[in-house]
């Protein structure tokens, strides 16, 4: 089994087949059912954990597989085949976002108590950074963590938190020194079964409906000092490092989603007859597919290059930001054109393209907006 891309070995492609088979067998058949219910079973996490999909790059001593970054690329690409962007987001938060800081700076005790069960899918994780008044501007967060003896007392509100309503713990950023700016931000692992934690509300969204997104409230919430991740004041830098993986995996999944929808639309265009012939036979339609295929391939190559840099441990904030910007913007444009090619049927919920269109709109916002990516890229260029 070989790949046309030099980044993937035969072992990567074998892994791809195993993920694809699982997705098509156990997830995709339930897409409509879970979309209508606006949730998917908690058991999905446990099943993913059993198969080793939630700890691809984490150390074997905590239940992970210790594999390279391109296995995570494969997983993100193939998971998209379930047809539910919300499920993809919830799972990738678990595998690549909320557990990342635990791996990066967590103590051995924290890793065994929280990371290992998350890798097994026995605990669900959420990442608590965004606040009502502080999104991409992490340094402006208002949630505080005040030390009181052997505990920290946390007060504040987080919003747009994926997995928020059913998380067993939140990887939480808070200001342990509110006068120190970004240097006063620390990270904690915050179990949700302690007094002072509550789900303010489950948020209703345009798309990604099977992913539970919540407002979280911490009201005199107390956790042991041992639940701090790393050193006090290390949280901002950890969040910035973690953002790179979050943004790149979003870019990769977006490209895979665009490819999937273009393939489905091409099949539709080859069957849909208007004016006596399939619409795929009209020159204007052929040219649209040529443009979409070229744009998707350009986006994929950019994402793969950024993944290569991450895998080699090379600093790549600019390249990841470019990938997030270009891939997510391209994906939405492509899916929007796919909906147009479906005509009136594309606007009907019975067609997958309508859900893909709703879901894709989030990609240019979540994990850092396109505008923020442009600002990062511009500053790194010296502008």
Find all residues with CB under 8 Å of 92, minimum gap 6, and list them: 76, 79, 249, 250, 253
C-alpha dihedral, 298 to 303 to 306 to 311, nearest 10°: -130
Cα-Cα end-to-end distance for the chain: 45
- 85, 177, 204, 187: which is closest to 128 by C-alpha? 187
- 223, 191, 222, 192: which is closest to 114 by C-alpha? 191
Contact 220, 155 (CB under 8 A): yes
Query: What DSSP character marks residue 134?
Result: B
Query: What DSSP character marks residue 131?
Result: B
The token pair that represents 42 in the structure block: 């908690």
Q: Is 246 a catalytic residue?
A: yes
SS3 173: strand
Please give the Cα distance from 359 to 204 (Å, whole number).
Answer: 13
Which of the residues 39, 78, 232, 246 is marked catalytic?
A: 246
Q: Which residues are catalytic?
A: 246
């Amino acid at each position: 089994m070989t790949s046309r891309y030099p980044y993937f070995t035969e072992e990567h492609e074998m892994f791809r087949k195993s993920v694809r088979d699982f997705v098509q067998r156990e997830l995709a058949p339930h897409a409509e059912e879970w979309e209508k219910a606006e949730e998917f079973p908690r058991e999905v996490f446990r099943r993913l954990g059993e198969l080793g999909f939630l700890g691809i790059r984490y150390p074997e001593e905590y239940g992970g597989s210790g594999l390279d970054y391109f296995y995570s690329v494969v997983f993100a690409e193939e998971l998209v085949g379930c047809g539910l962007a919300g499920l993809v987001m919830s799972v990738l938060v678990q595998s690549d976002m909320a557990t990342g800081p635990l791996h990066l700076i967590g103590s051995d005790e924290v890793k065994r108590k929280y990371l290992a069960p998350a890798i097994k899918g026995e605990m669900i994780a959420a990442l608590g950074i965004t606040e009502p008044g502080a999104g991409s501007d992490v340094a402006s967060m208002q949630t505080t963590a005040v030390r009181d003896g052997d505990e920290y007392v946390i007060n504040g509100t987080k919003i747009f938190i994926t997995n928020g309503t059913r998380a067993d713990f939140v990887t939480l950023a808070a200001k342990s020194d509110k006068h120190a700016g970004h240097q006063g931000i620390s990270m904690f692992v915050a179990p949700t079964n302690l007094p002072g934690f509550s789900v303010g509300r489950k948020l209703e969204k345009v798309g990604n409906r099977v992913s539970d997104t919540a407002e979280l409230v911490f009201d005199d919430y107390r956790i042991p000092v041992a639940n701090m991740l790393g050193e006090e004041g290390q949280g901002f830098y950890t969040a910035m490092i973690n953002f790179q993986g979050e943004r790149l995996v979003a870019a990769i999944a977006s490209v895979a989603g665009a490819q999937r929808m273009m393939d489905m639309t091409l099949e539709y265009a080859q069957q849909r007859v208007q004016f006596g012939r399939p619409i795929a036979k009209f020159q204007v339609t052929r040219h649209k597919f040529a443009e979409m295929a070229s744009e998707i391939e350009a986006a994929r190559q950019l994402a793969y290059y950024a993944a290569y840099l991450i895998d080699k441990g090379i600093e790549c904030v600019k390249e990841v930001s470019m990938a997030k910007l270009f891939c997510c913007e391209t994906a939405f444009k492509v899916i929007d054109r796919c909906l147009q090619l479906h005509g009136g049927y594309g606007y009907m919920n019975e067609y997958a393209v309508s859900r893909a269109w709703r879901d894709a709109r989030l990609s240019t916002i979540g994990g850092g907006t396109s505008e923020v990516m442009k600002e990062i890229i511009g500053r790194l260029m010296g502008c």
